[in-house]
C-alpha cells in the first residue's frame, strides 16, 4: 500500500478518537505502516520514572532487552525490587537499578537528580512516565496541588537537574508521557493549579497533561537558544488508552466499560521505546506523538492560546521560585 492511502486511513482513525486511542489504532497502524523492529541501544543510560508497573515497566523491560542500562525512580523499596526482578526476568543479563525518591517532594527529586549525576557521566534518555489521577484533593510536601507537583513541577525540576549529563550524551532524548485527555483543556496559568473547593481530579489531570505539552515546546526552544549545538531532543507523547493499575484506580468506570478496547502496557509503551531508540526522528517544538507519528497539539480551536508554551514556562518558574524563597 502506498503512502497516500496509509495516511488517509491514519487520519480516519485519528478523527474517530476511539479508533485512534484504543488498541484498534495501535494494531491497525502497526500493520498499515509496517512498523520496523526497534534498534538496539547497547550501553545507553536510560533514566525513567514510574517503572514499577504499567506502561513504564513495559518500556523499561523493552529497553533493557535492547541493551540499555536502566535506572528508575520509585517511592517504595519493596515495589521497586519487585519491578527490578520482573524487568530482569526476561533480560537476565541486563543492567537495572533504582533509587528511592518521591516526585511529590522536590527535595527528594533534586536528591535523585544529584545521585544520577554522581553515578553517570552522561544520560542518554530521560523518560517522564510517572503519574496518577487523584480523585481527592491533596498537597505535595512543598504545598503544591499534588497533580501539578507530580506531572509538571517535578519533571521540570528533574530535567533541569539532569541537563549537564544529557548534554554530555551525543544524541540525548527527553520523553514526556502525556495523555489524550489534554485535548480537552487549554493551558491557563490562573487555573492550572486547582483549589480544594472546586477540585475535579479528571480536569486537574487533563490540565497538567496540557501543561506538559506546552512545557515540552518551551524546553525545545530554550535549549536551542542556550546551547545552539545541543543534541538533546525533547518530545512528548501519549500512549493511547491503556489498561494499567492507574487507569483502574483513577477511572474505574471507564476501565470497566472500555476494557475490551484498551491497549496492553506494551502497546502503550511502543512509541516511548521507539522515540528512545530510533536514530532519525524529526524535531519540532510543537506537536504530540502517538503511534510513531507526530500529531497536532490541538483538536479543537478553543484550546489554542497564543504564547501558551512561554506562559507555561513562566508559570513553572514562578512556582518553583516561590518554594525556593
CATH superfamily of 39-324: NAD(P)-binding Rossmann-like Domain (3.40.50.720)
183 catalytic? Reply is no
- In this structure, are strands 293-295 and 288-290 parallel, antiparallel, or unpaired? antiparallel
Active-site residue (options: 137, 183, 199, 205): 205
pLDDT along the chain (325 residues), means of 10: 70 91 96 95 97 97 98 97 95 95 97 97 97 95 97 98 96 96 96 95 97 96 81 95 90 91 97 96 88 94 93 96 78
Could you give the 3-state DSSP secondary structure of residue 277?
Answer: helix
CA 58 to chain centre: 13
pLDDT at 38: 98
pLDDT at 284: 80
Residues 6+ apart with CB under 8 A from 39: 66, 277, 278, 279
pLDDT at 228: 66
**Helical residues (DSSP H) of 38-131, grouped into ranges:** 54-65, 77-89, 106-119
Residue 133 grid cell: 489521577
**Cα(258)–Cα(241) distance, rounded to whole angstroms?**
9
| pTM of the predicted structure, to 2 decimals | 0.95
**Cα(9)–Cα(175) distance, rounded to whole angstroms?**
27
Answer yes or no: are the C-beta atoms of 157 and 102 closer than 8 Å.
no
Residue 319 grid cell: 512556582
Where are the chain's structural domains?
A: 1-35, 39-324
Residue 278 grid cell: 530510533
Answer yes or no: are the C-beta atoms of 289 and 239 closer than 8 Å.
no
**Cα(200)–Cα(70) distance, rounded to whole angstroms?**
35
> What HEC string does 47-74 produce?
EEECCCCHHHHHHHHHHHHCCCEEEEEE
Per the DSSP assignment, residues forming a β-bridge with 139 are 145
pLDDT at 56: 98
**Cα(241)–Cα(268) distance, rounded to whole angstroms?**
8
Amino acid at each position: 500500500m502506498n503512502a497516500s492511502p496509509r495516511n488517509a486511513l491514519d487520519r480516519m482513525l485519528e478523527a474517530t478518537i476511539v479508533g485512534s486511542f484504543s488498541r484498534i489504532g495501535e494494531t491497525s497502524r502497526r500493520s498499515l505502516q509496517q512498523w520496523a523492529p526497534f534498534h538496539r541501544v547497547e550501553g545507553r543510560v536510560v533514566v525513567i520514572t514510574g517503572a514499577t508497573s504499567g506502561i513504564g515497566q513495559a518500556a523499561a523491560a523493552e529497553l533493557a532487552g535492547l541493551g540499555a542500562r536502566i535506572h528508575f525512580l520509585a517511592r517504595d523499596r519493596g515495589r521497586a525490587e519487585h519491578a527490578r526482578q520482573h524487568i530482569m526476568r526476561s533480560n537476565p543479563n541486563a543492567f537495572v537499578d533504582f533509587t528511592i525518591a518521591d516526585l511529590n517532594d522536590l527535595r527528594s527529586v533534586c536528591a535523585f537528580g544529584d545521585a544520577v549525576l554522581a553515578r553517570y557521566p552522561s544520560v542518554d534518555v530521560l523518560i517522564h512516565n510517572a503519574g496518577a489521577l487523584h480523585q481527592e484533593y491533596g498537597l505535595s510536601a512543598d504545598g503544591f496541588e499534588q497533580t501539578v507537583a507530580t506531572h509538571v513541577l517535578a519533571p521540570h525540576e528533574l530535567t533541569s537537574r539532569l541537563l549537564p549529563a544529557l548534554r554530555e550524551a551525543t544524541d540525548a532524548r527527553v520523553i514526556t508521557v502525556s495523555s489524550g485527555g489534554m485535548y480537552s483543556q487549554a493551558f491557563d496559568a490562573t487555573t492550572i493549579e486547582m483549589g480544594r473547593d472546586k477540585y475535579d481530579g479528571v480536569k486537574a489531570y487533563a490540565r497538567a497533561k496540557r501543561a506538559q505539552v506546552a512545557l515540552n515546546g518551551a524546553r525545545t526552544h530554550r535549549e536551542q537558544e542556550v546551547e545552539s549545538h545541543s543534541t538533546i531532543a525533547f518530545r512528548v507523547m501519549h500512549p493511547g488508552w491503556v489498561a494499567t493499575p492507574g487507569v483502574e484506580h483513577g477511572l474505574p468506570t471507564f476501565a470497566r466499560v472500555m476494557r475490551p478496547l484498551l491497549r496492553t502496557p506494551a502497546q502503550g509503551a511502543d512509541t516511548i521505546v521507539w522515540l528512545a531508540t530510533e536514530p532519525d526522528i524529526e524535531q519540532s517544538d510543537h506537536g504530540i506523538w502517538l503511534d510513531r507519528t507526530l500529531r497536532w497539539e490541538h483538536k479543537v480551536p478553543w484550546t489554542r492560546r497564543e504564547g501558551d508554551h512561554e506562559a507555561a514556562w513562566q508559570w513553572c518558574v514562578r512556582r518553583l521560585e516561590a518554594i525556593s524563597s
